[in-house]
Amino acid sequence: MARAYNQAQKFGVEMAIPDEVTSLRRDQDNRRFILTLFNGERIIARSVVIASGARYRRPSIDHLDVFEGSSVHYWASPLERKLCAGQEVALVGAGNSAGQAIVYLASKVAKVWALVRGRDLASSMSHYLVDRIQSLPNVEVVTHAQVTGLEGADGLLEAVRWRVGEATAETRRPIRHLFLFIGASPNTDWLSGSAIALDAKGFVLTGDAAGGDRLSLETSRRGIFAIGDVRAGSVKRVAAAVGEGAQVVAALHGFLADRRQILDEVTDVPSLHTPA
């Protein structure tokens, strides 16, 4: 990060940390974009790259935050797998990420309780993962399940309770690690009013999906690009986000080269950072 930061500065990047963008719109002449910051400052730009990512969803379970960082996990790396070796764990979710994590954890833990809100795994998970999970003797899939309580002390989980369907009775298991894989919501609230097309879940559409003859990372508004987790259909991984960041540079060069011809005729280079 430090090296990337230094290199960006060498290329003349101006960093503003911390700053939150609250809105994006066109200027009156329809030639530039205006980004308004939380502190009221405005950034004027010829082009914008949206890279505001996504936040991972948290279910509403009482005291969840108490156990986060120690017993509640949003990913399953070798570290978590080692922590749980030989134990029972619970995993909430039914998408492909959940499926991969179930298979991964099952190779080291005593038992995985896969808690699924819907009626089956197949409606939201790839068949190869469903088949794999069904072949694992130490995975028990519980459908129509909802976590109803977490028990423990000093931030360490000791038991997880869940309920199935409308039943009033709860199942309680001595579980010290709970995994949550229930998807992500895009950080796109700040784009409301920008007229940038989003998909049904709020992720930014780009390329063909954005309509017209858009470039591959260009949004429905010419000159605005989107990369990384915030982009609809992107692979939600670091390497993919970084790759798209490199790829968008070429698209920006192309866009600005075309644009410069028009802008040079009408105005000077704009001031970039203006106070409120």
Residue with smaller CB distance to ligand FAD, 141 or 184: 184
> What's the closest the beta carbon of residue 49 comes to ligand FAD, in angstroms?
10
Residue with smaller CB distance to ligand FAD, 16 or 262: 16
> What's the closest the beta carbon of residue 141 comes to ligand FAD, in angstroms?
24
Q: In what order do the strands lie in the sheet with 145-153?
A: 145-153, 156-164, 170-173
Question: Between vectors from CA 212 to CA 207 and to CA 213, what angle results, nearest 5°?
Answer: 65
Strand partners, 82: none
> What's the closest the beta carbon of residue 232 comes to ligand FAD, in angstroms?
12
At 257, which helix (H) or strand (E)?
helix 238-266
Neighbours of 91 (CB within 10 A): 25
Residue with smaller CB distance to ligand FAD, 152 or 245: 245
> What's the closest the beta carbon of residue 137 comes to ligand FAD, in angstroms?
28
> What's the closest the beta carbon of residue 54 comes to ligand FAD, in angstroms?
6
Tokens (6 digits) for 203: 């992720």
Taking each helix axis from N to C end, the angle separating 127-134 and 96-106, rounded to the nearest 10 degrees, works out to 30
Residues interacting with ligand FAD, by CB under 6 A? 20-21, 51-53, 56, 74-75, 77, 187, 190, 228-230, 236-239, 241
> What's the closest the beta carbon of residue 5 comes to ligand FAD, in angstroms?
14
Strand partners, 37: 21
Amino acid at 183: G
Residue with smaller CB distance to ligand FAD, 75 or 128: 75
**What b/e sequence results for 224-249 when a residue is b if at least 16 CB atoms lie within 10 Å of its CB, and e otherwise?**
bbbbbbbbbebeeeeeebeebeeebe
Residue with smaller CB distance to ligand FAD, 162 or 203: 203
Residue with smaller CB distance to ligand FAD, 93 or 228: 228
Contact predicate 221/196, CB 8 Å? yes
